[in-house]
Amino acid sequence: MIGLVCLSSLIHLGTKVAKVDLSVVKAGFIKTNDFSKVTKPNKDNLFTPIFVPPPQDPADYQVGALGYEEFDIADLEDVKLEKAALVMLVRNTEIHKARLSIRSVEDRFNKFFHYPWIFLNDQTFSTEFIRLTQGLVSGNATYGEIPKQHWSLPHYIDRQSMREKMKKMASKNVVYGASESYRHMCRYFSGFFWRHPLLDDLDYYWRVEPDTQLFCDITYDPFKFMRESNKTYGFVINLKEIAPTIETLWPTVQQFVRSHPEHVHPNNAHEFIVNGHKSILDGKYNLCHFWSNFEIAALSMYRSQAYRDYFDALDQTGKFFYERWGDAPVHSIAASLFLDKEEIHWFYDMGYRHSPFTHCPEGKEEFHNSGKCFCNPQQNFDRSGHSCTREYRDMRKNLPTPGLRSAKMLNGARDRSMIVRKKVKLGQRPLKLLPGRAGAEQLRMLEEDSYALE
């Protein structure tokens, strides 16, 4: 492995693996991997059987980064990294799920860039966890423990009342209804992860969860893309929240907007989250949010006064615990109200799966014939009635959509990434591939070379 592992003072080696709260209620949620099953009308699952038609025309969806400069092997030696890291909150017991995600991010992207990884945990990381992750990362890895005050019940929470409400939610089969640890996790991602000292020097982070997969080669630096195109919040999947978990979130947000109108951006994206084309104060929350298990975002969003005031206002209600407010709607509402709508970016080109949903880019030429992706576009969640793609498109209606590169160029990108792989294998200086036949010949010779060296 190329990267050296930097053991910060926050690492604690040799301590016991933490006990983990397994009392998680999973009932009431879709548990199948088969998309065709979950989209059938069924009153027991969360889907409505409406299909959003797939994009007809590339300009219909925001492809954004696809048209963005892809890395060229000749430039790889002097790549200037952004102040960014891959961030994973994870339990020791999830080590093998974590390994799956790390491997996936490394294979599809990071083995060319070597961005650092930051692992966070409310417990001390086990030696085993550290050993088994160090071998997979191509950049530095640091392991941070979360300060206790960021992962405990605030003093104003009435435990008895919380337990009763949790029981009630569990009896209605709400996913994680009875889990206190899940509530700490959601509150941590809403109000604290960005205050962890390991993130202090960063401008951007990419949130990676255990047990996730990327399906497409990422042949550009998404952090650089974010900075150069003034993007602040990037997502892959959007969907509707489970209503009973956020019963009073929207009225609380409206109250906040009433007392802090100065924080609302004049060109905000509220159409994405407010029902019936209404205003923030008149409308209801349509439950749409960006699925936060994948995020590529600027930390400036959270460090802003608007976000801090917003989080404090939410937190003092105690509803992260009395209800079960998720960090996904909390982040998404903030992004939709405090940012310019143009600062939000859909990484449409990133095939991604976090059970039970997959985003698989559609566009045979661009994504599939080119060999860039290997997911099944039939399983693309954007087509489900439970997705908020329709609302997202509506919100972006009058915004310019960046153009799509021609399939030819993307095919070229595939060839280039093949060369990069060879480079890694052979440890040679990269070659610039010539256009057309000459390039194919170069590639053939390079392949022969690699056999010769083996």
Footprint of ligand GDP (CB under 6 A): 89-91, 94, 121-122, 181-182, 185, 209-210, 293
> With CB cut-offs between 5 and 8 Å by kind, which of Mn ion, ligand GDP, none does residue 121 bind?
ligand GDP
Q: Which residues contact 225 (CB under 8 A, 6 or more apart)?
A: 64, 65, 68, 231
Classified as helix, coil or strand, 240 is strand
The structure tokens listed for 118 are 């930051």
Closest approach, Cβ 179 to Mn ion, in A, equals 13
Closer to ligand GDP at the Cβ: 97 or 114? Answer: 97
Closer to ligand GDP at the Cβ: 106 or 122? Answer: 122
Closest approach, Cβ 345 to ligand GDP, in A, equals 22
Residue 295 a catalytic site member: yes
For the stretch 106-111, contacts whose Cβ atoms lie closer than 8 Å and that sit 24 or more positions apart, written own/partner, are 106/136, 106/137, 106/138, 107/214, 108/214, 108/215, 108/216, 108/217, 108/218, 109/214, 109/217, 109/218, 109/222, 110/86, 110/137, 110/138, 110/139, 111/138, 111/424
> With CB cut-offs between 5 and 8 Å by kind, which of ligand GDP, Mn ion, none does residue 89 bind?
ligand GDP
Angle, nearest 10°, between helix axes 327-338 and 180-191?
20
Q: Which residues contact 150 (CB under 8 A, 6 or more apart)?
A: 188, 191, 192, 195, 196
- Chosen residue from 209, 309, 342, 415 binding Mn ion by CB under 5 A: 209
Closer to Mn ion at the Cβ: 124 or 293? Answer: 293
Q: Which of 406, 415, 408 is nearest to 439 (CA)?
A: 415
Burial of 445 (0-12, 13-18, 19+ CB in 10 A): exposed
**Number of neighbouring beta carbons within 10 Å of residue 215:** 20
Closest approach, Cβ 101 to Mn ion, in A, equals 10
Closest approach, Cβ 5 to ligand GDP, in A, equals 20
Closest approach, Cβ 211 to Mn ion, in A, equals 6
Q: Which residues contact 307 (CB under 8 A, 6 or more apart)?
A: 301, 334, 338
Closest approach, Cβ 190 to ligand GDP, in A, equals 12
Q: Specify the stretch interacting with Mn ion by CB under 5 A; choose among 37-45, 160-168, 290-298, 385-393.
A: 290-298
Closest approach, Cβ 94 to ligand GDP, in A, equals 5
CA–CA gap between residue 71 and residue 429 (Å, rounded): 15
Q: Specify the stretch interacting with Mn ion by CB under 5 A; choose among 26-34, 206-214, 239-247, 401-409.
A: 206-214
CA–CA gap between residue 161 and residue 88 (Å, rounded): 32
Closer to ligand GDP at the Cβ: 183 or 345? Answer: 183
Closest approach, Cβ 317 to ligand GDP, in A, equals 21
Q: Out of 295, 362, 366, 391, which one is annotated catalytic?
A: 295
The structure tokens listed for 358 are 């997959």
> With CB cut-offs between 5 and 8 Å by kind, which of ligand GDP, Mn ion, none does residue 360 bind?
none
- E-state strands within 314-414: 344-346, 352-354, 357-359
DSSP string, 247-297: TTHHHHHHHHHHH-GGGS-TT--GGGTBGGG--TTTS-B--EEE-TTSEEE
> With CB cut-offs between 5 and 8 Å by kind, which of Mn ion, ligand GDP, none does residue 366 bind?
none
Classified as helix, coil or strand, 298 is strand
Closer to ligand GDP at the Cβ: 94 or 391? Answer: 94
Closer to ligand GDP at the Cβ: 91 or 331? Answer: 91
Total number of residues shown for the chain: 454
Strand 204-207 versus strand 295-298 pairing type = antiparallel
Closer to ligand GDP at the Cβ: 328 or 404? Answer: 328
CA–CA gap between residue 229 and residue 298 (Å, rounded): 12
Q: Specify the stretch interacting with Mn ion by CB under 5 A; choose among 203-211, 250-258, 274-282, 422-430.
A: 203-211
AA letter at 107: D
Tracing tokens 């150069």 back to the chain, one arrives at 228
Closer to ligand GDP at the Cβ: 122 or 366? Answer: 122
> With CB cut-offs between 5 and 8 Å by kind, which of Mn ion, ligand GDP, none does residue 352 bind?
none
Query: Which residues make beta-bridge pairs with 275?
Result: none
Classified as helix, coil or strand, 406 is coil
Instruction: Indicate which residues carry an active-site annotation.
Output: 295
Site residues, Mn ion (CB under 5 A):
209, 293
